[in-house]
């Protein structure tokens, strides 16, 4: 390459012909030190340098190769400078935020888009994803079967041990705090989560943690965790905390299962009792309302009857004062009418002779009534039934003399048969 450079430098010089170059071409390769010295002189001439004494510099033989070399170096330096300046451009995605660092310290935050900063080493930049959801698992890894007991075992307020597994999801809300205030953001979130959940569980009863209080514990732990991270200025926002599992240690799991079953039986019996109460109470209330209404009706009826009796008695007293004998006779007849209307009656002809009465009369009347009913049924079956005219309770039937004599003759014949 050096002989070629020497040939280029020897060609095209002003005031030199091809014949003048032949002796130089026949000479050996130029000395490297001479070339370097000549290059320095020509480079100083390009930039217009002066001699040390202030006198104008001596004219040097103009070599076109060195002039081309100087122009190439300037062009190369310009390209390098442009490339160096272009290295300050960077692109921030929509889900990212940019952080510009000047000599290692924070300078500014940048929004999404095409941005430019001073090139290295004056300024650098960092891109932080602020929309991606990050998840950490506490008490387990991957699945609930892969337990980490050191993180999962916690002590409750009633001095019982529970095994709790939960997951925390978080976002980055401040890129500056995230970069400069955290050595490891996952470790910071995990430490805050363990601290918060242990504090909340330590203030709660075991049954509350295992059964009805899971949602409340999650809400309280999330709030406390966010407060801790904000105090440390970690730039983290807790978006969600989920309790995956909460159970007693395996050594006492069987006993707790029995307790849970007993609790379920208790709830079932309570529900059955409540259902029975819901069925019985409305019926009892309906019955009570009906009885109250009946009692009220009876009350009104008795009051009305008593008022009616009192009014009738008052009217009777008035009539009695006017005609005592007539009033007594009428009252007697009315009373006897009411009595005879509801009792059986036996008619005895006191004027006849030879009538023999058998006691007790009530049983004889019952037997007679049964025979009469049988006879009436037979007569109705044959179609020879005659209408029975009931006896009036007000006046007994009157017998004529023929019927009375016939009755007496039947009585005499019956006595003769009994005497035989």
The domains found in the chain, sorted by start residue, are 2-86 (no CATH), 89-129 (no CATH), 141-248 (3.30.479.30)
Tell me what pLDDT residue 369 has. Answer: 64
- Check if the beta carbon of residue 195 is closer than 8 Å to that of residue 211: no
Residue with tokens 């081309």, as numbered in its chain:
68
User: Which phi and psi (to 5°) does residue 136 adopt?
Assistant: -125, 145
Tell me what pLDDT residue 100 has. Answer: 86
Tell me what pLDDT residue 22 has. Answer: 40
Tell me what pLDDT residue 70 has. Answer: 62
Residue 402 has pLDDT above 50, yes or no: no
pLDDT in tens, 317-376: 888 888 888 888 888 898 888 888 877 766 666 666 555 655 666 666 676 666 666 765
Q: How far apart are CA 92 and CA 254, in angstroms?
A: 57
Residue 391 has pLDDT above 70, yes or no: no
Q: How far apart are CA 371 and CA 367, in angstroms?
A: 6
Least confident of 22-26, 64-68, 172-176, 377-381: 22-26
Stated as kind and residue range, the H or E segment containing 90 is strand 89-92
Tell me what pLDDT residue 196 has. Answer: 93
Tell me what pLDDT residue 295 has. Answer: 95
User: Helix/strand/coil (H, E, C) string of 230-262?
Assistant: HHCCCCEEEEEEEEEEEECCHHHHHHHHHHHHH
Tell me what pLDDT residue 50 has. Answer: 46
Q: How far apart are CA 45 and CA 199, in angstroms?
A: 81
Least confident of 44-53, 57-66, 130-139, 382-391: 382-391
Please provide the average confidence, as pLDDT, over all residues in the chain.
75
pLDDT category, 397, cuts 50, 70, 90?
very low
Residue 4 has pLDDT above 50, yes or no: no
């Amino acid at each position: 390459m050096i002989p070629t450079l020497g040939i280029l430098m020897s060609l095209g010089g002003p005031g030199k012909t091809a014949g003048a170059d032949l002796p130089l071409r026949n000479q050996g390769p130029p000395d490297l030190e001479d070339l370097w010295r000549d290059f320095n002189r020509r480079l100083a001439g390009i930039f217009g340098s002066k001699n040390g004494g202030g006198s104008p510099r001596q004219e040097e033989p103009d070599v076109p190769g060195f002039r081309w070399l100087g122009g190439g170096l300037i062009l190369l330096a310009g390209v390098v400078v442009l490339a160096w300046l272009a290295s300050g451009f960077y692109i921030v995605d929509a889900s990212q935020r940019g952080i510009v660092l000047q000599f290692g310290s924070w300078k500014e935050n940048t929004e999404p888009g095409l941005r430019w900063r001073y090139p290295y080493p004056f300024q650098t930049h960092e891109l932080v994803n602020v929309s991606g959801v990050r998840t950490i698992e506490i008490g387990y890894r991957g699945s609930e079967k892969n337990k980490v007991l050191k993180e999962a075992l916690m002590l409750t307020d009633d001095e019982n041990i529970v095994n709790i597994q939960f997951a925390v999801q978080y976002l980055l809300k401040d890129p500056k705090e995230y970069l400069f205030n955290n050595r490891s953001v996952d470790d910071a979130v995990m430490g805050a989560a363990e601290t918060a959940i242990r504090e909340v569980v330590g203030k709660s009863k075991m049954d509350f943690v295992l059964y009805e209080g899971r949602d409340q514990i999650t809400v309280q732990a999330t709030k406390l965790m966010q407060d801790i991270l904000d105090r440390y200025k970690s730039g983290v926002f807790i978006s969600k905390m989920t309790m995956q599992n909460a159970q007693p240690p395996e050594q006492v799991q069987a006993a707790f299962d029995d307790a849970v079953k007993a609790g379920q039986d208790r709830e079932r019996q309570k529900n059955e009792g409540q259902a029975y109460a819901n069925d019985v109470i409305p019926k009892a209330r309906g019955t009570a309302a009906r009885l109250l209404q009946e009692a009220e009706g009876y009350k009104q009826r008795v009051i009305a009857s008593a008022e009616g009796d009192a009014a009738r008695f008052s009217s009777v007293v008035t009539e009695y004062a006017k005609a005592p004998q007539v009033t007594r006779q009428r009252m007697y007849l009315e009373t006897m009418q009411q009595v005879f209307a509801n009792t059986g009656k036996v008619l005895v002809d006191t004027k006849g002779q030879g009538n023999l009465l058998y006691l007790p009369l009530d049983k004889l009347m019952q037997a007679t009534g049964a025979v009469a009913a049988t006879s009436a049924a037979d007569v109705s079956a044959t179609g020879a039934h005659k209408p029975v005219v009931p006896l009036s309770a007000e006046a007994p039937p009157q017998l004529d003399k023929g019927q009375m004599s016939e009755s007496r003759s039947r009585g005499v014949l019956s006595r003769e048969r009994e005497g035989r």
